[in-house]
Structure 1
């Protein structure tokens, strides 16, 4: 059996989820061939890096425009077609001829749109599994050619059903995270508290000097800040504060989470579920992008974390209050455990098993 996984590098979340799904299938089925492709690196190899740079510039400098488009298309009644569809369809046809997939998995809306249109226009019926990587049912994720959906939570499942998706097609799988985040190893005893702060792959963190000064002054708290690919921030704060360790881009995030009492991050979908599986309470920076606003609302609704104030001084005060409140931290962890109980982490494996056997697969 051949499985083609399609994704993109708009941030690290989509690609990370794709890698995780590929790893899960590979561990369970030695005879399944996995091909993972960044759709833009494959189709426009000379321009993909510029595309991703442009996206980063858009969300950092023109967030209002991004949010306007997101809201404008969120509840469209008609299907959303990928731009330059004919060009990408031709490239996808070549990729499919090369890989001969029996199933395609997508962790990016663009890829789901592309495969759905390919199936419809070419009279094909290649099963398409769409993995939604935010707590969202934005119209861009919903396509007539999708066979199954992997969704983060019950609320997203219900929203898809309300929009006309058959219940048996929607699996509550959480957002896929690497196996290391599921170890849930926290030290039994240590000196003081350990705070972890992350800004995602792009290192989107506060710039105010007072924020870092406030963190450095927290009593009995050691702070680790992962700056990702934000070299400017790394250089500005590295080695400047005695109680703050600064780390650049790392693939050992799970280790830092295992050592932490509390994590602070922007509310990205992958990071959110990494903390859930690690049972690590989360505080999130006040969100601005629309999908992160939805993720932050989910955090508060599930009572697994809190949204921080916008002002740096108030932000530090809230961090200090929460990290020294063991009762609240335990309550947040307990809520994460309850939420995890409703996740079917083996959903992708059940789907692959059904596809291999030619049996109908339905979500319960």
Structure 2
């Protein structure tokens, strides 16, 4: 979901810069593998119920050469060749490591010079993202640039753009002075919300705090919570998260790369659900190190304590927002259009 969101954000950005361009987003994994639906289901089971095994694999392959790792036979260059021959793109942008590997393998085996841009959608330098035929990398922070450079990637092709988010998250936010505190909680669609009613009862009675919970596609959780509490507003699936972030003083959420940068661009302090996936642990460590967020324990009572300690702390909330603003100023926000203009010089179209 996050990778697709990043792709759609890049598409929005490109169409604003190049209104006449044809920019298509597609699931290359599904296109090259007819078992992709089963693969996605297996992966979801692995990361939710077997996170320890996933993390072990993630650490083991941290420094493995991705160009030497095998692909599923069905993810074959012939299928990719047919696609690119039909679409005739001027540049490819990959927002998923497997997609990057598919395109890199095709380029290597065919000798194609088609420009390939890799957008790294977590704060990671994992080798799964790195390929010798990649023309440039878009990364979230300067630290990731340095880590990729330490693995042999030229600094000249690494751009610190932040992780892509929709333009609506970049609009100025003026929260002003308010007596009430507004808490936004996300993660319902991922099954991360506490099951105990006592957690929601405590939120509902927190003095001066109004809470919005986004349950996503979790209809069971939505039905359970909606209209049950006076000070808790429940929202199902929405594509207007930016409006709720602009309204909130603090967000409690999973520390995924996309959500984290949506919050950063919204200058919204983050209280991260204690992460269990290795890449999200990296994201959470970054938030804490940069003073832009904290981590809340999984246990409901401890999570409530973390909320209380932060939601009323004006100084810390303002400091976190200021540090997010400072990070935004450091990003090369215009570099993507410049990169693509250079890579596609003389062609007139980006796709």
Alignment TM-score, normalising by the size of structure 2? 0.94
Deviations 1:244-294 (A, max 9, x none): 111111101000001001111010000000010000111001111100000
Tell me what 2:223 maps to: 235
Structure 1, 127-136 or 300-309: larger mean CA deviation: 300-309
Partner SS for 2:271: strand
Deviations 1:110-155 (A, max 9, x none): 0111111101101111111000000001110011111000000000
Partner SS for 1:294: helix
Tell me what 2:116 maps to: 128
Deviations 1:291-331 (A, max 9, x none): 00000000011110101123211211221121111111111
> In the aligned structure 2, how far is the partner of 1:89 from the partner of 1:205?
42
Structure 1 residue 200: deviation in Å? 7.1
Tell me what 1:84 maps to: 72
Tell me what 1:185 maps to: 173
Aligned length in residues: 347
Partner SS for 1:236: helix
> In the aligned structure 1, how far is the partner of 2:194 from the partner of 2:37?
26
Bigger relative CO (Cα 8 Å, ≥ 6 apart): 2
Equivalent residues in 2 for 1:45-56 (5 A)? 47-56=35-44
Tell me what 2:7 maps to: 18
Partner SS for 1:337: helix
> In the aligned structure 1, how far is the partner of 2:291 from the partner of 2:188?
22
1:67 aligns with 2:50: no
Contiguous gaps of at least 5 residues in structure 1: 1-11, 360-364
> In the aligned structure 2, how far is the partner of 1:298 from the partner of 1:306?
10
> In the aligned structure 1, how far is the partner of 2:307 from the partner of 2:204?
12
Tell me what 2:196 maps to: 208
1:115 aligns with 2:115: no
> In the aligned structure 2, how far is the partner of 1:192 from the partner of 1:200?
24
Partner SS for 2:216: coil
Pair 177,28 (structure 1): closer, same or farther in 2 beyond 3 Å: same
